[in-house]
Amino acid sequence: MTKPVVGVIGNAHVVNDRHNVQVVGQRNMRAVAEVAGALPLMFAAIPDVTDIDALLGAVDGVLLTGGRANVHPTYFGVEPCAAHEPYDQERDAMALSLIEACVERSVPLFGICRGLQEMNVAFGGSLHPEIRELPGRMNHRMPRLENGEIHPDPNVVFADRHEVRLRTDGAFAKLLGCEAIRVNSLHGQGILEPGKRVVLEGIAEDGTIEAISIADAPGFALGVQWHAEYDPQTNPINRTLFEAFGAALREHRRAHGRPS
CA distance 166 to 201: 6
* Model pTM score: 0.94
CA distance 242 to 199: 20
Q: What is the structure's pLDDT at 216? A: 95
Q: What is the structure's pLDDT at 1? A: 58
CA dihedral 193, 194, 195, 200 (to 10 degrees): 180
Q: What is the pLDDT of residues 218-251, one digit of tens each?
A: 999 999 999 999 999 999 999 999 999 999 999 9
Residue 139 — very low, low, confident or very high, per pLDDT cuts 50/70/90? Answer: confident
The domains of the chain, with CATH numbers, are: 5-129+188-255 (3.40.50.880)
CA distance 6 to 108: 9
CA distance 191 to 129: 9
CA distances from 12 to 45, 91, 176, 253 (A): 8, 8, 33, 30
CA distance 38 to 182: 26
CA distances from 37 to 45, 75, 109, 151, 240 (A): 24, 34, 15, 32, 12
Residue 130 — very low, low, confident or very high, per pLDDT cuts 50/70/90? Answer: confident
Q: Pick the catalytic residue from 72, 84, 227, 252.
A: 227
Q: What is the structure's pLDDT at 151? A: 82
Instruction: Check pLDDT > 80 for residue 148.
Output: no
Q: What is the pLDDT of residues 105-118, one digit of tens each?
A: 999 999 999 999 99
CA distance 11 to 21: 8
Q: Is the peptide bond before 86 cis (omega within 30 degrees of 0)?
A: yes
Q: Are 228 and 176 in contact (CB under 8 A)?
A: no
Mean of pLDDT values over 14-28: 92
Task: Count CA atoms within 13 Å of residue 75 on its CB side.
Answer: 28
Q: What is the structure's pLDDT at 233? A: 97
The reply to whether 178 belongs to the active site is no
Q: What is the structure's pLDDT at 205? A: 93
Q: Are 39 and 33 in contact (CB under 8 A)?
A: yes
The reply to whether 19 belongs to the active site is no
The reply to whether 81 belongs to the active site is no
Q: Pick the catalytic residue from 113, 118, 128, 252.
A: 113
Instruction: Check pLDDT > 90 for residue 132.
Output: no
The interaxial angle of helices 89-104 and 114-122, nearest 10 deg, is 70
Q: Pick the catalytic residue from 90, 118, 201, 229.
A: 229
CA distance 64 to 243: 16
Instruction: Check pLDDT > 90 for residue 156.
Output: no
Q: Are 102 and 83 in contact (CB under 8 A)?
A: no
Percent of the chain, pLDDT > 90?
73
